[in-house]
Every structure is written in C-alpha cells, then in structure tokens.
C-alpha cells in the first residue's frame, strides 16, 4: 500500500461539508462488476426498457429473470475499505451528502445514513411499487418469481413491482436530483471517486460546485471527462480502495 497523499489529507482535514460523488470504480473492489465493463451485464443480455416493462408481460418476465440472476451477488456483496472510509468521514461530521451512481447499496451497508445518501440511479436492495411507490425487501419477491415465473404485484394496490433501480427509459427522481444539486451548492469540498464522470445528468452535480469555486478532488483509475478542468484541485490516478482509506484515517486522526 502506498503512503497516503499529503495534499489529499490536507484537503480532507480542512473540509467539513464534503460532497462525495461515487461511481462503479469504488465497488469493483467488492466484486461488483462494472456493468459497462467487459464482464458487464449489458454484454450478455439486452436491457429491458421501462416502457416495455410497464406495457408487457414478457418484458416483465425477462426483467425479473435478469434481476434474479444478479440478485445473489448483490445481496451478498460487502462494502470495501473505501465505502467504510466514507462512513467514517460522516461519523467525523465531515459529510454533507454522498451521491452515488451505483445501484449496489454498498454505501448503506457500510453505514452511510439514508439522510446523507442519494442513489441517483436507485438501488437493488429495495423493490418499489410502480403505482404507490411503497418499498419492500427483495428476497420474498425473488423467491416468489423463481417459483411461479409470475412478475410480482403490490399487495397494497396491485401495481407492478420492480427492483428500485432506474431502468433505461425511466426518469431519474426529481427529489433525488434536487437534494444532490442543493448539496453541490453548499459543499466546501467535492470528492469524486471511481467515476469516469461521463454519465449525465449525474456528472453535472460536481460541476455545479466547481463553478462556485469549491475545491475538487478526483480519484479514479483511468481518464475522466473532468480531467484538465480549470477548477480541478487534485487529481489522483489510482484505485480508490487503496488511495482513500489511509488518507481518511490520517485526516480524522489528526483532526
Ligand atoms: Zn402499490
């Protein structure tokens, strides 16, 4: 393991309203495949579009079948030291909001509180009714689908149940985006981790803070869309799981 980055420690120590923004790169260390990568879900089965899910039985069966295939891996995945370091930053009262593009629920498993978390693309750890938006635990629905091959319906309103992720063709939730953009306006540091910062509108969340002159740190292995940005304060090309935890430990320890 490398020595923690001194500039990273300084910036984390000085901040007390950090907007943390995370992408797939933070979860590869937990065995979650980057769904855009070579082993990704997209390469093996065609995605089911939201309108098709809402309008057709066959699409709903295909969708639930795809989710059933990936559910055990998601249910059993554990947060890695980078997720835990972010939860430690919150415990040290330094986190304004964690905004993630990931749908693996690992920030919540690591201890990041719901009130400090926005999952802009939803989460696989809940099932949502598409009519009344009630949330429930996935296990019972997957067991029922596996047994009957019938897409589950809401016990309250009979609406279609769907894992609470944002599907292709489905709108992001206004409430989530508002929380994220509001935090971007109030943050005193932006920390983008494991994201190539290419997916919109999520990637424009850190930009709003940077336009206000907020210090901006990117840790990612490989290029990002924000490399070379005038407001970029610190760019670390490396694995978040190796770079972040020792720096957080030093920043909190010395605070
Ligand atoms: Zn319902």
Of 86, 20, 19, the closest CA to residue 245 belongs to: 86
186: Cβ contacts below 8 Å, ≥ 6 apart: 17, 96
Q: Per DSSP, what are the bridge partners of residue 100?
A: 22, 119
178 CA from centroid of ligand 1 (Å): 24
At 142, the pLDDT band (50, 70, 90 cuts) reads very high
125 CA from centroid of ligand 1 (Å): 17
For the residues 119-124, what does the mean pLDDT come to?
A: 95
162 CA from centroid of ligand 1 (Å): 11
Q: What is the mean pLDDT of the chain?
A: 92
Torsion of CA 29, 31, 32, 38, to 10 degrees: 90
160 CA from centroid of ligand 1 (Å): 7
Residue ranges of domains in the chain, CATH in brackets = 1-32+79-121+172-255 (3.40.50.1220), 34-76+123-165 (3.30.1600.10)
The backbone region for 204, taken as left when phi is positive above 0, alpha when psi lies in -120 to 50, beta otherwise, is: alpha
48 CA from centroid of ligand 1 (Å): 21
For residue 1, pLDDT over 60 is answered with: no
At 36, the pLDDT band (50, 70, 90 cuts) reads very low
pTM of the model: 0.90
Counting residues of the chain whose pLDDT is more than 90, the rounded percentage is: 86
152 CA from centroid of ligand 1 (Å): 11
Task: Name the token pair of 138.
Answer: 């996935």
pLDDT score for 104? 94
Residues with CB under 5 A from ligand 1 (ion): 129, 131-132, 154, 156-157, 159
At 253, the pLDDT band (50, 70, 90 cuts) reads confident
Q: 3-state DSSP call for residue 19?
A: strand
For the residues 123-152, what does the mean pLDDT come to?
A: 97
Q: Is 105 within 8 Å of 22 (Cβ atoms)?
A: no
For residue 9, pLDDT over 70 is answered with: yes
pLDDT tens profile 160-211: 999 999 999 999 999 999 999 999 999 999 999 999 999 888 889 999 999 9
Measured between alpha carbons, how far is 255 from 252 in angstroms, rounded to an integer? 5
pLDDT score for 15? 97
Convert 211-221 to b/e letters by CB count within 10 Å (16 or more is b).
Answer: eeebbbbbbbb
For the residues 54-58, what does the mean pLDDT come to?
A: 97
The residues annotated with a catalytic role in the active site are: 121
Q: Per DSSP, what are the bridge partners of residue 22?
A: 100, 193
pLDDT score for 58? 97
Measured between alpha carbons, how far is 30 from 51 in angstroms, rounded to an integer? 32
Q: Is 26 within 8 Å of 243 (Cβ atoms)?
A: no
pLDDT score for 29? 75
110 CA from centroid of ligand 1 (Å): 29
pLDDT tens profile 71-91: 999 999 999 999 999 999 999
Q: Is 206 within 8 Å of 184 (Cβ atoms)?
A: yes
- Cis ω before 197 (30° cut-off from 0): no
């Amino acid at each position: 393991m490398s020595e923690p980055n001194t500039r990273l420690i300084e910036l984390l120590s000085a901040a007390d309203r950090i907007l943390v923004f995370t992408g797939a790169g933070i979860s590869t260390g937990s065995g979650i495949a980057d769904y855009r990568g070579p082993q990704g879900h997209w390469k093996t089965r065609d995605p089911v579009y939201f309108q098709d899910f809402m309008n057709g039985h066959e699409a709903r069966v295909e969708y639930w079948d795809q989710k059933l295939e990936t559910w055990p891996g998601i249910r059993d995945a554990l947060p890695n030291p980078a997720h835990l370091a972010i939860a430690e930053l919150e415990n040290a009262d330094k986190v304004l909001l964690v905004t993630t593009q990931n749908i693996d629920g690992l920030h919540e498993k690591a201890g990041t509180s719901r009130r400090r978390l926005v999952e802009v693309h939803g989460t696989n750890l809940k099932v949502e009714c598409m009519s009344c938006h009630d949330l429930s635990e996935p296990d019972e629905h997957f067991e029922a689908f596996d047994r009957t091959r019938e897409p589950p319906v809401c016990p309250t309103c009979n609406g279609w149940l769907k894992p609470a992720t944002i599907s292709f063709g489905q709108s992001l939730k206004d409430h989530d985006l508002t929380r994220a953009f509001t935090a971007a306006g109030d943050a005193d540091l932006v920390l983008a981790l494991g994201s190539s910062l290419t997916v919109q509108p999520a990637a424009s969340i850190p930009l709003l803070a940077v336009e206000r002159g907020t210090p901006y740190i990117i840790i990612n292995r490989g290029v990002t869309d924000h490399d070379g940005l005038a407001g970029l304060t610190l760019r670390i090309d490396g694995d978040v799981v190796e770079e972040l935890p020792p720096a957080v430990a030093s920043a909190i320890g010395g605070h």
